Amino acid sequence: MGASSSGLLDEAKINHIKGLVEKSFQSFSVFYCQQYAITYLEYIHQEVEPKKEGRGLLLTHRPKYDPEEVLYQGTVKFSCWEEQGKKCRDRCIVLRRDFKVEIHDSMETLSRGCAPKLVLQPAGGIVFTSEEESRAYLEKSCAAILNGVKEDSSSVASSSDESVYLHLPHTGHSCFLFQQEEERDRFLSGLKTCIRHRNLDSWRDSSHESQAFARAFCLYQQDKGCYESWEKLLGTEEQVLASQVMEEVLPWLHSQLQSKVKGKKTERIRQWLATVQATYTLVLEQLTAALEVQREECRQTASASQALIRSNLDQILSSHSFLEQKVRVCICEEAKEVCSESVIPYMSSILEVLTEHIGAGILGMQHTLKTQMNSAFSVTNGTEDTQKVLSSLRSVSLDQNYRQVENLSEKLEALKQRFGLSSAQRLVHSAQLEMEQV
C-alpha cells in the first residue's frame, strides 16, 4: 500500500507532505543527536561504575512468554472499514503473545500454515462494544469533512450479534461480531492485552538509544509548547514520531480536501479514511527510513568517540557536576516556589485517587490469585498434580481487577483539566502491565 491508494492525493500533495515530514524530522533530529550523545556518555559511565541494584519491593516478575503462545483463537464475523456496507464474513482470528491481531481466511488456511490475510498492529487502539459509540467516535474524527451532511439510511446496519469495534490511529477501524457474549468477552480480554503491550513494551527497554529517543521527543514537544509528551509514547519510536507528524499534516490536508470530498456521509467518511491511511503510510515509511539513517549516524559518531570519552571520563563527569550545580543554583528558588504553589497543594488528592483505584485493583488481583491457589491445593492435596494446577494460574482472568484500574480515567477528569493532561491511558496501561507481570 502507498499514497497512490487514495485518489485524492496527487503528486503535488504527496510532495508537499514529504516536505512537511522532512522539516519536522530535521527539527527532531537536532534534539535526538544531542540526547544520543548524552545517553551514550551515561552508558559508558554505567559500564565503568555500575550502580548497585536496589532491592525490589514487588515480587519477582514472570519470565517472558513464548511469542507464539495463543491468547485467543476462534472463527468470528469480521469486516474492516474498507468493506463498510458489506456483509461481515467468517474469518479465523488469532491473538498471540507477539500482541498482533491476525486475520486468517479460515481455520483450514491457518492449520496449513498459510500467512494471515491481514495483520493489525493494535498500538494506540481504542475499543468500543456498541455500534453507536463506534459511529459517534468515527464521525467526531471525520467532523471536518462532514460539514453537517445528513445521515444516509444505508450507513446504519444494526446487528443482534455481540460486537467489538477496534479503531486504530490513522488506519481505520475493524468490526468483530460474536454470537455469544462470553466469547466476545474472551476476545476482548485478549485484544486489550495486545493493545497494552503494543503501547508500552517498546518503552520498557532501558537501552541508551531508547532513552535518547524519549528525551529527544520530550524536548521536541516542549519546543512546540507541549508538556505532556509522556502520554504520547505509545507504540514504537517510528509510530510515536509518525503520529506526532500527522498532527501537523492533517490540518493542512483538511484545508486542501474539504471541498473535494463529496457524496453522502458514508462515502465522505470512506474517502477521508482512505486518504488519511495513505498519508499515514507515506509518513511512517519516510520517518522509518530517516530515523534508521539518523540512528546509524549517531552510532558511528559515538563509536568513534568511545576511546576519547573513556580516557577523559573523570574530567567530563567533573565538568558535568560543576555545571549542574551552577544551573541548580540559578533555578532552585523559582522551582521551589512553583512547586509549592502549583504542585504540592494537589499531591494529596492525586495520590488519593491513584491509591484508591490502582491499590484496589492490586488487592483484588491478590485476592483472586490467593483464592485460586487455595482451591488448587485443596483439590490436589499437595500431590504431584499440584504443579500442573498451579501452572494454569497464569491464565486466570484478571479482567475485573483491570477494570478497577480503568475507572481511574473517569476519576482523573478534574485533574486532567487542571493540569492540561489529554489522556490517562498510558498511566492506566502501565498499572495494568505491572499487575500482569507480578
Angle at 106 between CA 100 and CA 108, to 5 degrees: 115
pLDDT at 2: 44
pLDDT higher than 60, residue 147: yes
Contacts of 228 (CB under 8 A, 6+ apart): 221, 420, 421, 422
pLDDT digits (tens, 9 = 90+) for 128-144: 999 999 999 998 888 87
Work out whether the CA dihedral 305, 311, 313, 315 comes out positive or negative.
negative
Q: List the 173-178 sheet strands across, edge first.
A: 118-120, 101-104, 89-96, 70-80, 173-178, 162-167, 126-128
Q: Where in the chain is the domain with CATH 2.30.29.30?
A: 1-311
How is domain 1-311 classified at the architecture level of CATH? Roll (2.30)
User: What is the chain's mean pLDDT, rounded?
Assistant: 85
Partners of 166 in the β-ladder: 127, 174
The percent of residues in the chain predicted with pLDDT above 90, rounded, is: 55
pLDDT at 42: 93
Cell numbers placing 270: 470512506
pLDDT at 1: 42
pLDDT digits (tens, 9 = 90+) for 217-239: 999 999 998 877 788 899 999 99
| Least-confidence region, from 150-159, 165-174, 321-330, 347-356 | 150-159
Output the pTM of the full model.
Answer: 0.85
Q: Which residue has the cell 491445593?
A: 377
Contacts of 120 (CB under 8 A, 6+ apart): 100, 101, 103, 166, 168, 174
pLDDT at 4: 44
Which pLDDT band, with edges at 50, 70 and 90, does 384 fall under? low
pLDDT at 225: 87
Single-letter residue type at 116: P
